Structure 1
Amino acid sequence: MPADGYVGALDIGTSSVRALLFDADARLVPGVEVHLPYAPRVALDGTYETDPEALFRMVTSAVDGLLHAAGPRRRSRLRAIGVSTFWHGLLAADAAGRALTPLYLWADTRAWRQAEDLKGKLDADAVHQRTGCLLHPSYWPAKLAWLRAEQPGLWRRRPRLLSFWDLVHQRLFGGPLTSISMASGTGLLELAGCTWDGDLLRFLDVKEAQLPEPGEAGRGLVREFAVRWPSLKDVPWVCAAGDGALANFGSSCVDPSQRALTVGTSGALRVLYAGLPERIPGGLWCYRLDRRRAVVGGSLSNGGNLFAWMTHNLTVERGTLERRLRRMRPVTTGLTFVPMLAGERSPGFASHATGSIAGLTQATTALDIVRAGLEAVAIEFGRVDRLLDEVLPGARRLVANGAGLLASPAWMQMMADAIGKPVAESKAKEASARGAAILALEHLGLVDGDRLKSEVGRTYRPDLAAHGAYTLQTARQEELYRLLVKERALSRVAGEDAE
């Protein structure tokens, strides 16, 4: 690819679809960007889904917009498309690529009963070690058991079982194709061999023919899209990789010395490296970026969504909130907050978990609650970090990304103090999209993504006294979690059992 060539990057998230342009050095091209927001359908029964047809139209509209914004010169120099998207999404489709169900997203918890049932029927630890995924409603084993119970007629038809990108690939190129990365997030892939786990498929009554074949890239658009996008008709589209792994890749966190800390709607702390861990700790997962590199970490179901919930529902002055948060000393609100409003993934994977606040008095203010909530999220990141220390020790710093987190120096300092490690601001703009662009450049043989560097900004260093206070608060938070979540006194399970 000549130095004036470009790669496009699609970033398909659970709240927006974005399309961006990067140059041959993986630098974001300013002003060439499309952002199309959407909102999943959410309901009290645990529903968290979206319409795959509407989302597909958004993807094609985003590509339209990217090509228009790029202009004729850049458009003619597009050499590849990279794709970042969410893990764990599931839909059923027919052989022609028509969706037969909604797209069930990671936060859909309706399969919690099936997850609990699977834990009693399978060797949960063995499944975790083989696949890197836990028996939890986020992953396909529980979702498939739920789908079989809810729609037995559909199940008997043996539909294709696809991630969203698998469906997109079928419509653009004429057949479903997944990536090792996307397959590893289903909970059905045997990580060591990069093949579908036959024992698990047999138990779930799934035929391998229902699943897409893992591959690397598609090329040669079907006629409809070759006519619509002539500049892309013979350009390789690198199969989608998980946005979490790509966030590490795009922010140059590519070995155990640096961990990527991401706060978006949810949150995650991850290590990307070449190899697989000998053993995956119980509160962590392991997926693949590709056949060579794995990502190990933990995901929090509560991150920016908790911050948004607090500021939306509490009477706080947004304009002065950051300044007032910075003035507060650590762990002085008198509150203990279990931040499980959207259930729990790492480290406890209690899908039935709900949130709670202990210690409220007449003197408690809205600001106290916001501060306690942000501290609680930082403490949860600390719990994940300690698990990572068990399997991949030696991290010298964490590199943070996510607009809401980076916009709050107060929250950044809470992270450093609670975790007990330096936390640096990532300067990599659009880390997941940049990671997709780098993967596309690797596919073209133009770069080694492990050697590309990205800058960091301000580094927040832990205060020893504050870290000590957070250590004590962690014990209180874990005890409240044990009483209210592990004992299920504040869980959906308890509520439904009472009925």
Structure 2
Amino acid sequence: MAGGMGVLGLDVGTSACKAVVFSPGGIPQAAASRSYALHMPRPGWAELDAEEVWRHAADCIREACASARMPVRALAVCCQGEAFTAVDAEGKALCPAMVSSDARAAAETEAAVRERGVDDFYRRTGHTPHPLFTLFKLLWLKRHEPGIWSRARRFLCFEDFVHSKLGLDPAISWPLAGRTMLFDPARQAWDDGLLEWAGLEPERLARPMPSGSVAGEVAPSMARSLGLAPGCRVIAGGHDQVAAALGAGVAAPGQALYAMGTVECVVAVSREYRLAGGLRDANLCTYPHTVPGCHAHLAYNLTGANLAAWFREQFLPTGGAGETPGFGGLFARMPRTPTDLLVLPYFTSSGTPHFDVRARGAVVGLNFRHTRDDILRAMVEGLAFEMRLNLERMGQCGIPVHSFHATGGGTRSLEVVQIKADVLQAPITPTLDSEGGCMAAALLAWAALEGRPVQECLGSWVRLGPVVDPNPAHKGHYDEAFARYRGLYHALRPLSAPGPGKEGE
């Protein structure tokens, strides 16, 4: 790349977007972010105003380019999965974008499973059916908003929606297409059978292409408006979770990203497109990674760092002499040895492997000698046990994980990282960068400009902190505790059915 030239990564999330300009070598030069409202007009609905999101994204690009004071020759977009909007022939949104957490398509999902079966969807897409996926939201739109369905020229996820606004024939990266449940990762194309079944013509969707491919160039008038260099290339990016994995340097089998944020998420890597009954039954998906020739396997729990926030709010004093400690001080007070408690961390229902919206959290084994600090440590242990449960299922299906790179707010506490390394019995290396999604998108753009495989660029772009190795003294205790944890969900589920009006809260 010529000296002084930059690349831009744009990350479009559920509540905010961010643009960061990087110079060669992955050094951030300028950044801009904007927040926007998530609308919930009815129970179970969650929507974004797609045009508002684009206005904020454009402002971020414009501000970052102006502050960077270097020509931006290429950009790429990573974004939330599943969310889509219908657009007309001029590319204008016809309706709000339904995001992942929008559950209005539950009836369509149940009807689809009755008609086709879970295994048919899994064999075709590498995913098991759930209302979060684009396919079922589209079926809802077709049934309940036939006017919008018939008027729509295209149905676009946020990566391809941004492309259309930039003046391109929109393209969608394989990883993001994989989250629609309309994409066949084995053929790396839209699934003709599912499209026909849904009554959806392929030309109403964006062009699928591998991450790192050149999708086109920004229209000249739009490039001038945003402050991009003339001829700025647009590169296929990816789904935000696998983009974060790339941004953390997770690009080879045996490695995994451990995202310690509001949602706990593990992204493991394999070379083969691997389907297995054990993965299907645990709702562990297989879809393209942002790294060519690799696939990603996603495990997650919807309770994560929000559990510590809830604990602090409910059980620690606020104001006056008893002012609430920050999270660093909170975690520093935890005991240094494992607890004898078990916590089922389903405080917002479960993710993988159970996909159970009726599941509820529990603390098991309490007596009068336990303290708040014991309970907090047990909560961190429970989050790690849940990831170990998912990783055990992956390992049984030929996807072993030997080491982790970690991102998210949880990595700021050495105590938290140490507990998770001990429970998982694997080394965890936190990253030093907080811009993983934007950096991954920019890295894909830079590699495309240079004509180099993205793996060759990781060493100069990704910065890692010290490795946290598991404490061997804790292995026996956590092995025994995990053996008990395996049965905890099934033992408690009959007691966990919510009362009236509590479903999904």
- TM bucket normalised to smaller: 0.7 to 0.9
Query: Does residue 268 in structure 1 map to residue 268 in structure 2?
Result: no
**Partner of residue 478, structure 2:** 470
Residues 189 and 196 in structure 1, CA contact (< 8 A), matched pair in contact too:
yes
**Partner of residue 35, structure 1:** 33
Q: 1:420 to 1:126 in 2, by over 3 A?
A: farther
**Partner of residue 442, structure 1:** 447
**Partner of residue 429, structure 2:** 424
Name the CA distance, whole Å, in 1 between partners of 2:449 and 2:220.
24
Q: Report the TM-score when normalising by structure 2.
A: 0.87
The 5 A counterparts of 1:197-346 are 197-215=191-209, 216-222=213-219, 224-277=221-274, 279=276, 281-282=279-280, 283=282, 284-289=284-289, 292-315=293-316, 317-319=324-326, 320-325=329-334, 327-332=335-340, 334=341, 336-346=342-352
The 5 A counterparts of 1:366-385 are 366-385=372-391
Q: Report the TM-score when normalising by structure 1.
A: 0.88
Secondary structure of the structure 2 residue equivalent to 1:41: coil
**Partner of residue 148, structure 2:** 154
Residues 357 and 503 in structure 2, CA contact (< 8 A), matched pair in contact too:
no
Name the CA distance, whole Å, in 2 between partners of 1:86 and 1:301.
15
Residues 259 and 398 in structure 1, CA contact (< 8 A), matched pair in contact too:
yes
Could you tell me which amino acid in structure 1 is paired with residue 430 of structure 2? Answer: E
Name the CA distance, whole Å, in 2 between partners of 1:488 and 1:93.
45
Aligned residues: 486
Name the CA distance, whole Å, in 1 between partners of 2:497 and 2:295.
36
Q: 1:494 to 1:231 in 2, by over 3 A?
A: closer
Moved more, 434-443 or 189-198: 434-443
Residues 84 and 436 in structure 1, CA contact (< 8 A), matched pair in contact too:
yes
Give the deviation of 1:321 after TM superposition: 0.5
Name the CA distance, whole Å, in 2 between partners of 1:242 and 1:134.
18
**Partner of residue 108, structure 2:** 114
Secondary structure of the structure 1 residue equivalent to 2:404: strand
Residues 248 and 272 in structure 1, CA contact (< 8 A), matched pair in contact too:
no
- What is the root-mean-square deviation of aligned Cα atoms in Å? 2.9
Q: 1:237 to 1:158 in 2, by over 3 A?
A: closer
Moved more, 135-144 or 273-282: 273-282
Of 344, 355, 366, the match for 1:349: 355
Query: Does residue 458 in structure 1 map to residue 475 in structure 2?
Result: no
Name the CA distance, whole Å, in 2 between partners of 1:371 and 1:45.
34
Could you tell me which amino acid in structure 2 is paired with residue 468 of structure 1? Answer: G
Of 39, 50, 53, the match for 1:52: 50
Could you tell me which amino acid in structure 1 is paired with residue 245 of structure 2? Answer: N
Could you tell me which amino acid in structure 2 is paired with residue 303 of structure 1? Answer: G
Could you tell me which amino acid in structure 1 is paired with residue 17 of structure 2? Answer: V
Could you tell me which amino acid in structure 2 is paired with residue 401 of structure 1? Answer: T
Name the CA distance, whole Å, in 2 between partners of 1:471 and 1:494.
38
Structure 2: stretches of 5+ with no match in the other structure: 318-323
Q: 1:310 to 1:118 in 2, by over 3 A?
A: farther
Residues 302 and 339 in structure 1, CA contact (< 8 A), matched pair in contact too:
yes
Q: CA offsets, 1:335-394, max 9 Å, x none? A: x43322333332222244443444566776544443333222111111122223234455
Residues 58 and 226 in structure 2, CA contact (< 8 A), matched pair in contact too:
no
Could you tell me which amino acid in structure 2 is paired with residue 285 of structure 1? Answer: C
Residues 488 and 494 in structure 1, CA contact (< 8 A), matched pair in contact too:
no
Could you tell me which amino acid in structure 1 is paired with residue 241 of structure 2? Answer: G
Name the CA distance, whole Å, in 1 between partners of 2:403 and 2:501.
40
Structure 1: stretches of 5+ with no match in the other structure: none
